[in-house]
Structure 1
Amino acid sequence: MHNGRIKWLILWIPTLTIGLWEYVRHAFLLPYMSMDLGNFLAPFIVLAVTLTVVRSLFVRLEQSQDALQREKATSAALEERERLARELHDGISQSLFLLAVKLDQLDAAVQEGPVKPLAAGLRETVRIMHEDVRQAIASLRLPPSPDTAAWVMPLRELLGETAGITEARAEFMWDITDKSLTDKEKVELHACVREALINVRKHAKASTVYVIGESDGHGGFRCAVEDDGAGFSVDPLRAPERFGLRMVKDRATRMGWTFAAERRGDRTVIEWIKEGGQA
């Protein structure tokens, strides 16, 4: 329903309610109800309609306005990304291209001597930088996705660091949207994932490490750090040296999330679940 129609309904429903009540009262109830009783009931009838029908219209209006604000924010973000992409293309990218041309000319002019390998090295560096800029431009022109949100990128970097230290393969799968989490949930989830990845570094000896973030579509999520390493020799929440995972469980409990740390098939799973609709 259009916002303008909702506003008109909010204005007219109380008036129509009292008008309909007066008509019914005088046409059908007057022999059975005194004027004083009718006048006494009128504001309560309007209040009841307001708390039911009008209140639901206010909720729909607020939801519509929130959706409009999100759409405006998304549109502004996309416009800013496009502006940055244009600036990169028109500025740095063009300058790198011209620099590459100059280096080609220098390389052609110098037949031998120490300058030639230096020019070749510089040309290769410029080529790599130019490719990086082109990829950045392409990324900016793509719509933002859940796994490229600003607060999610450090999780990806933590996974990359863990994979580098343990010489394991990293798999990052994330579709929890930015707006579905509060700022506090983002902070707590980041801390939990970080501690779980530190645990993988210390104990797992894994060949593949996974960070998974799955939305349930109703405001809830499942987040997990999984690996195919050695697993737990004892209950990790009772082992005297596993303070980190106990702190992670405490964090999850305070947030009202379900926490699990267990072996499932060939994977060790550290998991947090928030049920949809949970505050």
Structure 2
Amino acid sequence: MDPVLEIKELSGGYIWNRPVIRELDFSIHPGEMVGLIGLNGAGKSTTIKHILGLLAPQTGSVRVMGLERGDDTGRYRGSFAYVPEAPELYEELTIREHLRMTAMAYGLDSAAFERRTVTLADQFDMTDKLDSFPQTLSKGMRQKVMIMNAFLVEPPLYVIDEPFLGLDPLGIRSLLDLMVERKKSGAAFLISSHILSTLETYCDRFIVLHRGRIAAKGTLQQLRSSAGGAPEKTLDDLFYTIVKGGAT
């Protein structure tokens, strides 16, 4: 099965010939959830910006559904949805208008828009907020709007950056349930988070970035083998061991 996301020998950053990330090589297939973890400054955000097409590779390539950014920008960007760490909303648009704008950008028809809007608003306890403006919402509610926009369009790939920050328990549960549901339908996920216990429970594989390079990658069992084979080690334990130099 062809990968949804394929990154080959990717190096890049913000200044030419001064890469932040170096020679990254990984892929994500349909129905797979992969956790991207690392210390602050490890290169997670830079990696995500390359996937989103906000940064051009200095060397190597990023492909989503077989396409690079320069092949067909519209199709490339229509192949994924992104949930940023910090909510970014238009203050002059209501929540419903945000969702409608997203539907228009992705070519979602009116019937699907209405049906999915009702379902998502109910799941995230936001039904009575659909005609509100962002300035009336808490940070957690604004984050729910970002999540609702991403899951409205049902793309092949979801790129999610620290999704649990600010969410209440209902929001966290609703997001996790949606992720599992979409994964079963064949969607691929790349999730960056510092909440390693949640990633350990839900992700199939993990990529550990350290100082701009992949320090380790694989299933939990593969990470355990690379860290000495201790079967009882949690992802948090393994991460500590890897970034402290106990595994490469």
TM-score, structure 1 as length reference: 0.22
Greater share of strand = 2
Q: Give the number of the structure whose alpha-carbon radius of gyration is greater.
A: 1
Greater share of helix = 1
Structure of higher RCO (CA pairs closer than 8 Å, 6+ residues apart): 2
